[in-house]
Structure 1
Amino acid sequence: MTQIQVVTGAQINEFLDALAVLRIAIFRDFPYLYEGTLEYEKSYLSTYANSKDAIVVLVLDNGKVVGASTGLPLSEETIEFKQPFIDAGYNVDEIFYCAESVLLSAYRGSGLGKRFFEEREAYAKQLEGITHVCFCAVVREEQHLLKPNDYKSLEPFWMSQGYSKTKLTCEYVWRDIDKTVDSAKTMQFWMKSL
C-alpha cells in the first residue's frame, strides 16, 4: 500500500540514498537521458538536506521509496537557476523552486503527480514572502533519436496545474546515456502565481 510522507530540513538526510538511486533510475529515461552517479547525486541532494526550508514529498510502498518530489526557495538554488530570474527583474526571494518529481512507472497515472504539486505549493504558501512557484524542464528536439514512439509530453499536465511556460531558460550540464562527455542542455522554466 502506498503512502505519502512529507519531510523537511534535516529529516531529508534519512532518505538521501534512496532519493539518489531513484533519481538516477528515472532520469535515464527520455527526455533527460541522464547518466548519473551516486556521488554526484548525494552532493546535489545535500542542498536540500542543508536547507531549513526544503521539502521532499515521498511516495512509500511498504516503506520503500518509489517516488519523490523536491523543492526549496529559489534563493537557495545554484546561480544557473537563479540568474535568468534575476536578469528578468524578479526577486528570487519571492519564488519557490519545485525541483523535480520522480516516480517509478508502475505508480504513474494514479494522481500522484498532481499531489506532488499540491503538497509543494501548500508548503510554499506557508513560507514568508513567497508569491510564485516555478520549475524547469529539459528541452529536447522533436525528432531526437532516443525519443520513444509512445512518449507523451507533460506540458498539458503542467498547464492543467496552472503553470505557464515562460521565456526564461538556463543551461545545465550533464552526460547523456549515449555520450562519453558532458554537454549543456537548455532548461525551460514554467511558473505559477500562488
Structure 2
Amino acid sequence: MNLVEKYKTYRKVLVKLHMKILDEFVSQSDFERGGKILDIVKNNKVVFQYYNEKDILFDFIIYEKIRDGHSALSEYEKRYGAKNSNEEEILAAMKLSETSLYEVIGINKENSTILLRDILNNSKKSKLLDIGLSKSINTNVLVFTRLIKFDEFNMTSGLGLAFSGNYRDFLIRKSKKIMKKTKSGDTSVDRFVAFFKLSRTDGIPILFESVK
C-alpha cells in the first residue's frame, strides 16, 4: 500500500469515527452548547452563515473540551475503544491533534502534499497530505486547521478556515483580542472561537475534503 492509498484508507476510517461519535455519542444539548460557545445561536436555533459551518461545528463538538472539561472524542474512546488496529492508531492521533494557523509555503500537486509553517508555534514545518486541497490552494494563503499526525504523513480532521496571507499580522493581533474576551478557561476553545469568528468576517473559500 503506497502513501496515498494509506491516506485514503485512514481518511475513510476517520470519517466513520466522526459519524459514530456524532450519531451515537453527541446529544442535542451538546450541539446547542457548541453553538452557544461559537455564538451562532439565535432565538434558540443554530444559525449557519455559510455552507461549511455545520462541519465546523461538528469538529468543534467532537474535538474541543466543552463537556465539563472533556471532549466527546476522549469520552467516546474511553467508553467504546477501538475496534481494530487502524482505529486504535487513528483515535490516538485524533486525541493528540491540535488546531493552529498555518502558512502555505509549498505545494506538490503530483504527490498531493502541501508544506505548512505553523505561525502560532515557533514556525514549525509540517507536510500535509490532502488530495482536494493540494489541487485548489495557492501559496500566500493562511489556513486554520486541525492536523492529525502519523509517522508517515499528516492529514486534517476536515476543518479548514482560509485567509489571505496579507492578513497575517491582523489575524494574529485580532485573534488574541477575541481570545481574551472569550475566556472559556481553555486556550484551544478560545483559539477555535477566535478564528471561526474571523473566518466570518475575513475568510476566503477553499476546498477541503469533506469529513462528516
Question: TM-score when scaled to structure 2?
Answer: 0.28
Question: TM-score when scaled to structure 1?
Answer: 0.30
For CA contacts below 8 A with separation 6 or more, give which structure has more relative contact order: 1
Decide which structure has greater strand share. 1
Decide which structure has greater helix share. 2
